[in-house]
Amino acid sequence: DTGVSQDPRHKITKRGQNVTFRCDPISEHNRLYWYRQTLGQGPEFLTYFQNEAQLEKSRLLSDRFSAERPKGSFSTLEIQRTEQGDSAMYLCASSPGQGYNSPLHFGNGTRLTVT
């Protein structure tokens, strides 16, 4: 069990650029989640995958955001035309099992700064 891995750890980009983040969940975890956390707040849900299927998306996920999990393993989160308001920590989590009784395991996050 190597834990949830996220890459990069930090990303600084200029407004209007596109960025892509990667998440590698714990192997054999079929559930994968993306969260966003701004300073002083708790993590906010963005989207959820069961294997390769994206089953839930938050209203926070505007049309500039897209997430994929093409083979049911790693996932990517892309932000197009970044805005300063996108500056945040982006957290990925995975969990095993089919029901609700599955604890979340988080990666170390990707901290995005949009200048």
Partner 1 sequence: GIQVEQSPPDLILQEGANSTLRCNFSDSVNNLQWFHQNPWGQLINLFYIPSGTKQNGRLSATTVATERYSLLYISSSQTTDSGVYFCAVPNTGGFKTIFGAGTRLFVKA
Q: Say if CB 11 and CB 18 are below 8 A apart.
A: no
Q: Considering the rule CB under 8 A, would residue 74 count as an interface residue with partner 1?
A: no
Distance CA 19, CA 101 (A): 33
For residue 87, which of 15, 34, 30 has the smallest C-alpha distance?
Answer: 15
Strands (E), 14-87: 19-24, 31-37, 44-50, 53-57, 65-68, 75-79
Q: Considering the rule CB under 8 A, would residue 60 count as an interface residue with partner 1?
A: no
Among 17, 18, 38, 41, binds partner 1 (CB under 8 A): 41
- Cβ closest to partner 1, residue 85 vs residue 103: 103
**Shortest distance (Å) from residue 44 CB to partner 1:** 8
Q: Considering the rule CB under 8 A, would residue 105 count as an interface residue with partner 1?
A: yes
Among 2, 28, 42, 98, binds partner 1 (CB under 8 A): 42
Q: Considering the rule CB under 8 A, would residue 26 count as an interface residue with partner 1?
A: no
Q: Which amino acid is at 10?
A: H
- Cβ closest to partner 1, residue 60 vs residue 81: 60
With the C-alpha atoms ordered 21, 24, 25, 28, is the resulting torsion angle positive or negative? positive
Distance CA 24, CA 32 (A): 9
Residues binding partner 1 (CB under 8 A): 31, 33, 41-45, 48, 50, 55-56, 58, 89, 91, 100-106, 108-109, 111
